Chains A and B, each alone.
Chain A
Amino acid sequence: MRRTSRALLVVFAVGAAMLAGAAPALAHGGVVGEDLHVAASLGDRELTVIVRRVGPVPGPLRVDVVNHAGSPGGTLRIRAAAFGAVPAGDEVGLRLADGGGLAGVTLHVDRVGAWELALDDGRETARIPFVVPADVTPAWQWVMSGGYTAAGALLLAALGAAAFGRRTWPPLVLGGGAATAVVVATTAALLSQGMPEGTEIDPVTGRPPATTVPDGAARPHVNLLADAALVAGQRSPIDLRLVDGATGRPVDDLVVHHNALVHLVVLGPGGQFAHLHPARLGPGELRVWFRPSSGGEHRVYAELERRGAGTGPGGVQLVQTTLSAAGPALAETTPAGLGDRDLAGGTSVRVEASRLVAGEPSVLAAEWSEDGRPVRDLQQWLGMAGHLITVGPDATVGHVHAMPPAAVTGSAAAPDETVASGGPRIEFVYTFPTPGRHRLWFQVERDYEVVTVPVEVDVAAAAPRAEAGS
């Protein structure tokens, strides 16, 4: 009898060792949802709203708001409401610091599903959609923890039966059961390694999808309507309407894409540039405040992403329109080309590029320094180490990203905007589609301020291409 018990102990020890080996799979099995970062310009403020990962529901909801340099401080009224329901809890006041920084409040969520976070600055209310996901435990995890629990219980019972029982068969049967449970649990733990991380969550309901919709079908195109009475030198609102191209209904299925619902690029008649993030006021309605430096016709590009079929992505669209501003048209001073230049506050930047030939990938880099020392405290803006916007002679628009170093090392956790460890060199890879004069804007964040460096480059024509095939 003692030998049987010993043999079973060996089996159990092997199983336990395997469980230890499979531990990393457990770590990401239960994780559902992640921090949501949304950049939005609300009134005079440039904000990044961070909705932290939600734990069990009902429970607390942590919301942090990053204010940027140049945005006034003051109090925002914040409240969360489930879609189409009475707001849960009271409005909470959030005190923003002058000159940039992070402030947070704790709200309460009481159900799984689509939610809206309302931020009121006294003049306008931005409504940011988010989804509280159900905390779903994958089936393999149930099998695994159940299996090991059963194995433990059966083993104890077998030991008890062996020590105190009179018959020979109960310990054997119980021990066999324990071994079977270990095998089942270990199989589940090992199989889980090949399974996708987390569980698929329907972006509307916050629960695992009830029906399987084939992914990949894209939603219709979006029409962009812009309404504004712009005057050069005055800050006034641009009201945007997004309308579905197939039904004419408001488009209210935008997903947060590169940390914003909509990235708006406004180009003035003299090459003036602005990269803005309109705040959502309601379904298909967004607003952003803008001060044109010049009168004349402005080109407006909106980069957005609609939700796709099922849980799949819907694809990014770039929709455009024009707005005219009253006042004299001013030509912006032509930006410098490659090389060194001094910026405000003792900062300087060196812009470099590998050979610029149309159709060949080029490496474009901006290296930042302050008083001769390399800058190592750049912050992530919109989840990236840096952004590069390009406009070509034929009005092609490029939006290029530099990956933050965390992603290069394969870490899943994205650091906040508050972590200042980027720089000094931010590199981009872009293939200019056409030769000619291209205007580029390098954008990075430092001390909660977005720094934009305009550059003009000439791209050479490609050598005549050899005949493809033969």
Chain B
Amino acid sequence: MATVWLAGCSGCHMSFLDLDEFLFELADLAEIVYSPVASDTKIYPDQVDVCLVEGAVANVDNLELALTLRQRTALVISFGDCAISANVPGLRNLFSAPGRDSAQTVLERGYLELADATGQLPHAPGIVPELLPRVLPLHEVIPVDLYLPGCPPSAERIRAAIEPLLHGEKPCLSGEAMLRFG
């Protein structure tokens, strides 16, 4: 199993840690092979069964990791509202005008218009990932198998989604307890 953190606040991962003692059961039944909170592995491994993906796809690093994890994972779950709808990170999409994408607009606003006389746009190829023109929900970039809404999804909701998977069953993601946004 893997968990991935793209453009999000890490609140979904905090909620994952709120699984508390169930984390011990989880550790018995599944190996966490890649995760910002439970693994030091830097390269997404092959043949992952399940991956929880938090966050929207906002920059080239997010995009590359999303494409990689899709190739190497059997079941991909959009984990939380940012992965599902772009949510708060997606608000920068409001600042796109014809001929100017939202990345240009927010970078110029943040680094030039609001800066003192020495302001400059960040440029560090290979170090600072370039922003994509538009922030995208995960399913607009790769096929997604399950959606787990919530901002963040509660620990109970996360458990109800992943516990059946540990026993080889598909969870039932319907009704107020499993679906509500926000």
Q: Is the pairing of A and B real?
A: no
Chain A positions near chain B (C-beta within 8 angstroms): none
